[in-house]
Structure 1
Amino acid sequence: MPQLSKRTETFTDSVIRRMTRVSMKYNAVNLSQGFPDFDPPKEILARLAQVSNEDFHQYSITWGAQNFREALAVKQSRLMGRNIDPNGEIVVTCGSTEAMMVAMMTVANPGDKVIVFSPFYENYGADTILCGAEPIYVPLYPPEFNFNPDELEAAFKQKPKALILCNPSNPCGKVFTYNELKIIADFAEKYDAFVITDEVYEHIIYEPFKHVYFASLPRMWERTISCSSLSKTYSITGWRLGYIIAPPEIIDVAKKVHDFLTVGAAAPLQEAAVTGLKFGDEYYEKLRGVYTAKKNLFMKGLDDLGIIHTNPQGAYYVLLDISEFGFESDLEFCEVLAEKVGIGAVPGSSFFRENVNHLVRLHFAKKEDTLNEALNRLADFRKKIAPKKQLLKL
């Protein structure tokens, strides 16, 4: 038999999605894969019920239904501070996962280099490799997960085609400040690179932090490919509705790539989701309040249990320090955690280019009852997980 493609040899399947399967196996509270266990807004669900009896069962326009793009353009124009053309500056995709892949294939040629901050959402490395490009990893330093401008410029000096920017960041919850974004922008302009943004958590930000759209920075619209989705904002991760916003000359190429990858996003779901895109600012203010309450509940619970953890500025993920258990493999720890304690987590090593094995990621996009149950299970987890080696006492 002939050999299979070698491009997949350097990465595994998604560790995040694998840990959902592990959670199901042990009936664990799944705090690994980041999806909520509560319903989307009732207005969207009501419209979905109507759509099932209407004529939206065939292909929509390949790059997105007209009314969906128009509603999205109105919403994002208000937020991004410019008039976005629904016909020339938007492509609707099958989730932000496809949006990121389309963006990568639109700008990167085999042999190109792409800058990726570490820690990073696991898809970015795989996307880069599948495009035949080479990732250049630049570390973010805890506890604030800031970058070193000198290290970033050293990466730009390697003449990358693009930089991938997840803001707010998964898994560390960092929200990049305006000054940090300006440093990135200056380097992108100086070294003539694109910036591909993943902004799916744009509406999940905690005070006093503010989200700044990279494309809104001076002279950055022309070189920014903004990717996002409706998944997190409206709690519809299974609907797979994402999008790209960019200048027309970029969108023209992105349309071609998208057309041959997936043809188009689901027509009836686009129709139902238009309702959410027309929500007023009060919806997003309420959403921030809801997630702030969930964060406060979960962070206090972890503090009460004496568990060392990060403090996210945005998104809904927290990294726990498991050093006290002495596991050499954080993947093994997560499997034990699911089996013995009943909590699903993601090993931190799947997010870091550096040799990091002492962190695991949990998320708190769950009902309060679910979060309280998770904290109850964690209450005696030190009794249920035996340390792998004797810890040195200082």
Structure 2
Amino acid sequence: MSTSFKSKLPHVGTTIFTTMSQLAQQHGAINLSQGFPDFDCAPELVDLVTDAMRQGFNQYAPSIGLPNLREQISLKTQRLYGHTTDPNSQITVTSGATEALFAAITAVVRPGDEVIVLEPCYDSYVPAIELNGGVPVFVPLTFPDFSIDWQRVKEKLTSKTRLLIINSPHNPSGAILSAQDLQELKALAHAHPFLIISDEVYEHMVFDGNQHLSLLTEPALAERSFVISSFGKTFHTTGWKVGYCIAPAHLTSEFRKVHQYLTFSTATPFQQALATYLERPEPYLSLPAFYQQKRDLFTELLRPSRFELLPSAGTYFQLARYHQISDLPEVDFAQWLTKEAGVAVIPVSVFYHDQTDHRVVRFCFAKKVETLKAAADRLVRL
């Protein structure tokens, strides 16, 4: 006898990232789809993890994170953004940024609450909202520069608006917030009582001399925000799944109530290694130049191609229009490109709830030089 039940996420299936990576493997394609490096982290980090294991850091860490790691996060935040953070009451170490996003949404969203989501957006936002009975309210970013239309955001605000989710540098577009964006957000926040999640996992990948404008730089925004980041992105260790959330003490208290029953704590030796590694700021301060070099190389290699490259001000993603190559919808084109050209990409339409299709795909350039050259060689032949 079988028991049937109604799915809580009826529209969710295998993610496009899994699908495209599997397709790339089947066809021997170069995988520029899923957002992770194909190069290793610093050997020093590997040694630090090994040392931590040998020193006995193999049992549960405190649920909120090792004290020395939280202290280093606090120092880093002060150094970069001039924001003083209490490591005991305002910083929580999490099992990746995705866990932090889920915990923050779960902590504050109740059934019927509205959450403003700027599209295209990272794929974990909406399922987390829906699992908590919230109602996603979608506001499209302006195409093709993916800027925020603050008037449209204002028009979507209601008495039910609980939360607004911001992402800068933005996945998938690579757009970044400007000083004017922060002023617009401050004005809306002054007039309306909503909370904010600021997804800043690509904070150290901002190019062309620009600075990352964290919401922590504005006290009026910091006091109502969950600011989330990721050591996986910063230190090329996505498989470690270590992130963190900074929020005011009263919001952190609610966040931790969820976190303790979601993962309880994050891998102890990784935390110990990161705490030691953070004592030197050079590795993350050098990251913008490191990834800008890869972006510039990739865009130069694709210059002879028929792709139209859109500006990438941050992240390790490059968007490209392909209307001079094909009339296929994005998902079909991505599959065709993987099978026929041997390069796997992500269709940007999957980041929209209604599959808005601008004939744009996303490349990940967090790859070795030889990987980027091999992929570009195939792409310019189209």
Which residue pairs with 2:305 in the alignment? 305
* Counterpart check, 1:39 vs 2:37: no
Does structure 2 retain, via aligned residues, the 8 Å contact 1:182–1:217? Answer: no
Amino acid at match of 1:148: D
Secondary structure of the residue that 1:231 maps to in structure 2?
Answer: helix
Please give the residue correspondences for 1:78-93 in structure 2 after superposition, counting only pairs within 5 Å.
Answer: 78-93=79-94
What is the distance in 2 between the residues matched to 1:43 and 1:228? 22
CA contact (8 A) 2:295 2:318 kept: no
Counterpart position of 1:279: 280
Q: Tell me the alpha carbon deviations over residues 227-284 of structure 1, each in whole angstroms, 9 at most, x when there is no partner.
A: 111011110000000111001111111111011011111111111111332222x333
**Bigger CA drift: 323-332 or 305-314?**
323-332
CA 290–133 in structure 1, closer or farther in 2 if over 3 Å, else same: same
**Map of 1:176 onto structure 2:** 177
Query: Which shows bigger deviation, 134-143 or 8-17?
Result: 8-17
- Matched residue, 2:75: 74
Alignment of 1:382-393 (within 5 A): 382=382
Conservation of the 8 A alpha-carbon contact between 2:112 and 2:160: no
1:233 aligns with 2:234: yes
Does the 8 A contact of 2:162 with 2:194 survive in 1?
yes
- Aligned twin of 2:361: 360
Distance 2:141 2:68 in 1: 40
Counterparts of 1:169-208 in structure 2 under 5 Å? 169-208=170-209
Structure 1 residues 268-347: aligned runs within 5 Å: 268-280=269-281, 282-347=282-347
Does the CA contact (< 8 Å) of 1:111 and 1:134 recur in 2?
A: yes
The answer to whether the 8 A contact 1:76-1:84 is kept is yes
Matched-pair contact (CA < 8 Å) for 1:113–1:159: yes
Q: Is the 8 A contact 1:188 1:195 kept in 2?
A: no
Q: Distance in 1 between matches of 2:95 and 2:291?
A: 25
CA contact (8 A) 2:322 2:360 kept: yes
| Cα distance change of structure 1 residues 155 and 276 upon mapping to structure 2, 3 Å threshold | farther
Given that residues 114 and 135 in structure 1 are in contact (C-alpha distance below 8 angstroms), is that contact kept between their aligned partners in structure 2? yes
Unaligned ranges ≥5, structure 2: none
**Structure 1 residue 109 and structure 2 residue 106: aligned?**
no
Tell me, in whole angstroms, the C-alpha distance in 2 between the residues paired with 1:326 and 1:286. 38
CA distance in 1, matches of 2:378, 2:249: 51
Cα distance in 1 between the residues matched to 2:373 and 2:173: 22
Conservation of the 8 A alpha-carbon contact between 2:306 and 2:324: no
Structure 2 residue 224 is the aligned partner of structure 1 residue 217: no
Matched to 1:75, the amino acid is K
Q: TM-score scaled by structure 2?
A: 0.95
Amino acid of the structure 2 residue aligned with 1:224: S
Q: Which amino acid aligns with 2:196?
A: V
Distance 1:9 1:158 in 2: 28
Q: Which deviates more from structure 2 when the two are superposed, residues 168-177 or residues 318-327? A: 318-327
Match of 1:377 in 2: 378
User: In structure 2, how many angstroms separate the alpha carbons of the residues matched to 1:83 and 1:5?
Assistant: 46
Query: In the TM superposition, what is the alpha-carbon distance from 1:25 to its structure 2 partner?
Result: 1.8
- Counterpart of 1:35 in 2: which secondary structure? coil
- Are 1:134 and 2:117 counterparts? no
Q: CA RMSD in A?
A: 1.6
Q: Give the Cα separation in 2 of the matches to 1:176 and 1:256.
A: 31
Q: Residue 165 of structure 1 corresponds to which residue in structure 2? A: 166
3-state secondary structure, aligned to 2:228: strand
Distance 1:158 1:301, change over 3 A: farther
Moved more, 249-258 or 66-75: 66-75
CA gap of 1:17–1:279, structure 2 versus 1, over 3 A, is: farther
**Aligned residue-pair number:** 380
Between 1:150-159 and 1:26-35, the stretch displaced more is 150-159
Post-superposition offset of 1:325? 4.6
Q: Given residue 32 of structure 1, which amino acid in structure 2 is its aligned partner? A: S
Say if 1:13 and 1:4 are closer, same or farther in 2 by CA, change over 3 A: farther
Structure 2 counterpart of 1:257: 258
Unaligned runs of 5+ in 1: 383-394
Is 1:15 the counterpart of 2:30? The answer is no
Deviation, 1:357, is 5.2
Alpha-carbon offset, residue 158 of structure 1? 5.7
